[in-house]
A and B are shown apart, each in its own frame.
Chain A
Amino acid sequence: MSIVTTFESQCRALTSTSSPDEDSSRFLVGTLSPTGNNLLYLLEYKDDNNNLAKVSFKFPFGEVWHLSTSSKYPNLVAGVLGNTGELSVALFKLPDELANSIEDDYGLSESPIEQVFEVYTGDKNLVRLSQWHPEDGSQLLTCANGHMDIWDIERQTKAKSFSLLGSAEKFLDLESGELKPSQVTDLRWSSLFDCSVIAAAVGSKVLGIDTRIPDSSPASVCWLIQDQRCNKVRSIDFNPNSQYYIASGGDDCRANFWDLRKTSTPALNLQTHTHWIWSIRYNPFHDQLVLSAGSDSRVALMRAQSVASDPYGQAVDDDEDENSSQGDDEEKENNQQQDESDTANGDKLENVVGESKTKDKNDQKPLTNEVIHVYQEHDDSVYAAEWATDPWIFASLGLESRLVIGRVPKKEKFNILF
């Protein structure tokens, strides 16, 4: 079912990137080899023929800890690199030939990857992350030595910087002093709130930081989540559609969902892993779907219905379907569209629609919160799992250098769509 590809050395960096072809999904993977000979892989997955094409590029700039892309500049990549223990952030330009879709396995491409400019140079305390501004693709966020820095890509200068040491310190000092703000484990930039909130995971806490403050002032903390059960939060993600919810995963092996209006206890938690969670990601379109990956080499797909942007949408829709014929009409339209586009799947689809209809009649209860599926196809810790641009496809990357393309189960998909 799922498509697997392997790389020549260990990898931790995975990011989803936009593809010139709408039917395909692209992922970027960087290898992690301290002794050099690193490569950058570009993978293109085509849903219609279930094909995964792979191109690799030589990457002589160091081992890749993290990659991030912006939808505004599809061929720019921000990477966090390591060179004999020193970390740096740099911006790279992918070869122009990638503007076309990849037909087949190219193998090693001779086209070079160019470094645009080095954003942040050699520092051991650099957080192994960089974040693009969710809408304005010309800003990049990094964090090092307790400072949050926002970089202007076009001018290639630091636009803004504020310190976690000043204001956030008083929140963090509660911890026995061993947790320094430099030990930020994850950063996320919310696409809501007018892109003015950044979340930073520090130890067992998650801080919400307002970016609208003037340059080089202490960071203003707008909310604080204290996870009582977790020593270290390793990954966070904002709900892309609802401003109140944030997901976190960490050393307590649970996926926690927090309501920012009441941060004392998680609004929901799901026991998904047996070791640390390294990555937790909301589906950018259907925020009830959440993906988590952990060092127990598992990837879990969850449904967090009660903390989704439309928690009871399913039930309401059902009612509407029954009351008015509008819903049915839409459904038929959808059916027709689907039929036109994909006649082969037509029969199957109708079956499923029939199923969902009978289900509507049988039970009206809304979908519950649960782990939909646990994927155990990796042999080693999974440090990254990302959703593709296609809302039903995701990729997970294990340290054993294996990338697995996964798909949301059909049943779940139809549950959401209908």
Chain B
Amino acid sequence: MEVEEGVQIDDKAKRMRDLLSSFYSPDSSSNASSLENYSSSSSRFATLDTINTTSFDADLYMNLLVQKSNLENLLQKHVEMAAEIKNLDTDLQMLVYENYNKFISATDTIKRMKNNIVGMEANMEQLLKKIMSVQSKSDGVNTSLFEKREHIEKLHRTRNLLRKVQFIYDLPTRLENCIKSEAYADAVKFYTGAMPIFKAYGESSFQECKRASEEAVDVIIKNLQRKVFSDSESIQARAEAVMLLKQLDFPVINLKVKLFEKLEQFLVNLHLDELKEPTNASADDNEPPKEGTVLDSASSAAHEASIREFVEAVRAYRAIFLDSEQQLLKLAQDFVTKHFDATRQKIKQLRSVELLAILRVIWSDVLLITEVLPEADLPDYALQAARIVVKDYINSTFKQLLLDISDALTKAQVGQKQGVEEYSLQVALEASRKAVIQGSLDVLQNFRQLLDENSDLVLKLRDLIIDWVQEGFQNFFWALDDHFVLLSGKSNSASQNLNIPGSIAGDKVRAGLVLVLAQLSLFIEQIAIPRITEEIASSFSGGGTRGFEYGPAFVPAETCRTFRSAGEKFLDLYIKMRTQKISVVLKKRFTAPNWVKHKEPREVHMFVDLLLQELEAIGTEVKQILPQGLHHKHRRTDSNGSTTSSRSNPYDRLGRSNTQKARSQLLETHLAKLFKQKMEIFTKVEHTQGSVLTTIVKLSLKSLHEFVRLQTFNRSGFQQIQLDIQFLKTALKGIAEDEAAVDFLLDEVIVATAERCLDPIPLEPPILDKLVQAKLAKNSEQSPVS
């Protein structure tokens, strides 16, 4: 029910709307037709809604209503419908009343209009008449005045022409006057005003005038040109002059070029000044410092003055030629580039103070120029250039340092070659040590000055400089390492090539050099690098423009490692070179004689002397350079006890084995070896005198051992070796440190000889002693003589 009620209310509103619209819009036919269509098509299924359409069929509606509703509903519908009809009636009435009202007011208005319009036509006719009379009168006036006006106009034109002619005739004198009063601007104005006339009639009527004025203008041009070039004139005046010249169609470009050339010339002069500066600076070193600084300041003042001049000139130029910026920019950049080029050329002789001075000068120049030419971006440009220069400077400093060190090394070598100095290895070592540490510290000191400088230019580069210094040190140490290897390699190959007799001295020196290198590497690792690291940490920390991924530029730990291994390598190389030389001596000894037919030993063979000589030479070399080593004494006393017991072994063994078979002797040797503590022959080498010497002795004895094993001996050969070794035993006591190992090796040599002997019967100890004593006596006899 409620729903239906809602529908009904809606229906009502809709009907109201439709009624109104049909009233206001007369063209409701289309709407009606569509509704008609709708109703005809749906007549069969008509609903109660059709009451609002035009094709409303009351019977159909009634039927439908009766069919669909019950009585109660019908009654209700009836009531509703009666109310609706009543409503519609009142609405209709209201509408009719309103429209009627409007109609009445419209009729009233029309009536009023009719009354007002009656008197207007007469007035209009009167007005027309008056206007006609005014027009005729004005025509009369016009015709009466026409002639006079014509005449006046003609006169006026003639007068103008005459004035112009007068002007042309007056032009030369006027120009003269202008020249006299230097009113060039007026002159130019006059002349350009007269130009069209001269162009039209210059050849005929005004020939003379033209010539005269052209002469005057020539004078003007000259004057103007002079004015442009004279520096004493104010900039505006010069600019004006240029403008005037331009108006006179004078080729200004030439002027511009000339002026520009002048600027360039100016710069060249400046650079001449620049080049003088270093000579001043270098003179500083010789002269007392005070005077030097005076000189310096004087020259820098002069320089500043000239730069100011240049700046003024540039400013003027710029004002004069407005479109000249590109050129000027280029000029300014050229200026900076040249400046830095000049600096770079001198960079090798510069110290950082001087470099700083130069940089400062450049920077002030740059700032001055920037005032005039802000577009040139000179500070940036200068920064770039300065960066390169500073980097170059740092690199060249390191290169110089490297050179110094290698000089220190090689000079000593040369000196020693001539045999001038006995302790030259030591000298070389000291010199090169000093070169390394002092040089590096000096370099650092130098660079620190760079950092201390607080000029803008350097401040901006500060981080970069720190990085470069660190990087520089890293690269320097790599390079040093490479250089060392090169030196040692060279020396080695040279020693091979110079193996011809007589060059033994040279060979020795080179081995010494290797030893020096070994020690120097150690020194760098243990002292120089920590020291430098400290210095760097104290004043060159920071930086960090280098990305983090690269890590710090200077890696002391790694560098230390490199040099440690280099030191070991050189020491090994030294030992190898020395032992190889000794093994040549030994080889000569063992390959030359026929050991199977050896004669009975009468004395200790002289190869022992050669061997000892070599060892002595090594000893002196080693003593010059290497530290003594702390445990030297201790080891010796320690080993003494153990050797006495082991030393007696082979003799007993050999003595007893006299009568035994070789086989059982071998077995015994094995047993002896088993019980004897296994000797560490090839121990790690240390950087001490004792260690190096002992290693060399051990390696040489091992080589001797191997040589023995390649031969076959008869009894006398065996006895000879036994004798030689016996002598060596006493002789080597003083040289080698690890006595136990040396004794062991010497015993091994004797055992090996016995093993390779066809008839191993040793010499009787008394005879052995006697021969050794004889040799010792002979040596002691010789030594005071030599």
Listed in ascending order, the chain A residues whose CB lies under 8 Å from chain B are 8-10, 33-35, 37, 82, 84-85, 124, 175-176, 178, 183, 204, 228-232, 251-253, 274-276, 295-296, 379, 381, 399-400
Query: Quick one: which of B721-773 are within 8 Å of A by CB?
Result: 755-758
- By the criterion CB–CB under 8 Å, are A10 and B755 in contact? yes
B591 within 8 A of A: yes
Contact present for A82 and B712 (CB under 8 Å) = yes
If A10-B666, A183-B591, A251-B583 touch, whether A34 touches B682 (CB-CB below 8 Å) is no
Contacts A34-B758, A183-B591, A253-B576 known; A176 to B499 CB distance under 8 Å?
A: yes
Asked if A379 and B673 make an inter-chain contact with CB atoms under 8 angstroms apart, the answer reads: yes
A228 touches B496 (CB 8 A): yes
B634 at the interface (CB under 8 A from A): no
B678-718 residues with Cβ-Cβ distance < 8 A to A are 678, 681-682, 699, 702-703, 705-706, 709, 711-712
B749 to A: closest C-beta gap in Å: 13
A274–B583 contact, CB under 8 A? no
Query: Using Cβ atoms and an 8 Å threshold, which residues of chain B touch A275?
Result: 682, 699, 702-703, 706
B residues less than 8 Å from A183 (CB atoms): 591
What residues on B are CB-neighbors of A204 within 8 Å? 496
Decide if B712 touches A34 in the complex (CB within 8 Å): yes
Most chain B Cβ neighbours within 10 Å, of A33, A34, A175, A296: A34
Chain B: interface residue total (CB-CB under 8 A): 36
Complex Cα spacing A229 to B490, Å: 11
Are A9's CB and B666's CB within 8 A? yes
Is B712's CB under 8 angstroms from A400's CB? no
Residues of B within 8 A of A276 (CB): 703, 706
The answer, yes or no, to whether B492 is at the interface (CB within 8 Å) is yes
Taken together as a complex, chains A and B put the C-alpha atoms of A400 and B663 apart, in Å, by: 13
A176-B492 in contact (CB<8A): no
Of B663, B673, B682, B711, which one neighbours A37 at CB under 8 angstroms? B663
Closest residue to A278 on the B side, CB-wise?
A: B706
Main secondary structure of the interface of A (DSSP, over half): loop
Closest residue of chain A to B572 (Cβ to Cβ) is A271
Check: B493 CB closer than 8 A to any chain A CB.
yes
In this complex, the member of B587, B699, B706 whose beta carbon has the largest number of chain A beta carbons within 10 angstroms is B706
Cα distance, A379 to B675, chains bound together (Å): 13
Closest 8 CB pairs of A and B: A85-B596, A274-B682, A85-B712, A231-B580, A35-B662, A228-B493, A34-B712, A295-B706
Which of B499, B580, B702 interacts with A295 by CB under 8 Å? B702
Partner of A229, one of B576, B682, B702: B576
Whether a CB of chain A sits under 8 angstroms from the CB of B94 is no
19 A-B pairs in the complex with CB atoms less than 8 angstroms apart: A8-B663, A33-B663, A124-B594, A175-B499, A178-B584, A183-B591, A229-B492, A229-B576, A231-B583, A232-B583, A274-B682, A275-B699, A275-B706, A276-B706, A296-B681, A296-B702, A379-B673, A399-B709, A400-B670
Residues A178 and B500 in contact, CB atoms below 8 Å apart: no
Q: Are A381 and B712 in contact (CB under 8 A)?
A: no
12 other contacts beyond A34-B757, A275-B706, with CB at 8 A cut-off? A9-B666, A34-B756, A35-B662, A176-B501, A228-B492, A228-B493, A228-B496, A275-B682, A295-B705, A295-B706, A379-B678, A400-B673
* A252 and B699 within 8 A (CB): no
Nearest B-chain residue to A175, judged by Cβ: B499
Q: CA–CA, A183 to B580, complex, Å?
A: 17
Q: How far is the CA of A251 from the CA of B492 in the complex (A)?
A: 15
Contact, CB under 8 Å: B702 / A85:
no
B588 sits at the interface (CB 8 A): yes
Residues in B neighbouring A379, C-beta threshold 8 A: 673, 678
> Do residues B706 and A33 form an inter-chain contact, with CB atoms below 8 A?
no
A34 to B666, CA, bound (A): 12
| Minimal Cβ-Cβ distance residue in B for A227 | B496
Most buried by B among A33, A204, A229, A400: A229
Q: Are A296 and B492 in contact (CB under 8 A)?
A: no
Docked CA distance A296–B680 (Å): 10
> What are the residues of chain A within 8 A of B595 when measuring CB–CB?
85
Contact B596 A84 (CB under 8 A): yes
Q: Which residues of B, 164-201, contact A by the 8 Å Cβ criterion? A: none
Chain B residues with CB below 8 A from A253, complex form = 576
Complex: chain A residue closest to B711, CB-CB:
A85
Give Cα distance in the complex from A228 to B706, angstroms: 22
Chain B residues lying within 8 Å of A33, measured Cβ to Cβ, are 662-663
Chain B residue at minimal CB-CB distance from A85: B596
Complex interface: chain B residues within 8 A of A84 (CB)? 596, 712, 758
Contacts of B583 in A (CB 8 A): 231-232, 251
Complexed CA–CA distance, A100 and B400 (Å): 76
Contact B594 A85 (CB under 8 A): yes
CB-CB under 8 A from B670, the residues of chain A are 400
CA distance A8 to B757 in the complex (A): 17
How far is B703's CA from A229's CA once the two chains are assembled, in angstroms?
17
Expressed in whole angstroms, the minimum distance between the Cβ of A37 and any Cβ of chain B is 7
For the complex, give the distance between the alpha carbons of A274 and B575 in Å. 11
What chain A residues lie within 8 Å of B584 (beta carbons)?
178, 231
Q: Which residue of B lies closest to A381 (CB)?
A: B706
From residue B707, how far is it (CB to closest CB) to chain A in Å?
10
Using Cβ atoms and an 8 Å threshold, which residues of chain A touch B591? 183
Inter-chain contact A252/B596, CB cutoff 8 Å? no
The residue in chain A whose Cβ has the minimal distance to the Cβ of B581 is: A231
CB < 8 Å: which of B580, B681, B706 contacts A252?
A: B580
A232 to B706, CA, bound (A): 13
Contact assessment for B594 and A296 in the assembled complex, using a CB-CB cutoff below 8 Å: no
Question: Which residues of chain B are near A34, meaning CB under 8 Å?
Answer: 712, 755-758
Give the distance to chain B from A318, nearest Cβ to Cβ, in Å.
28
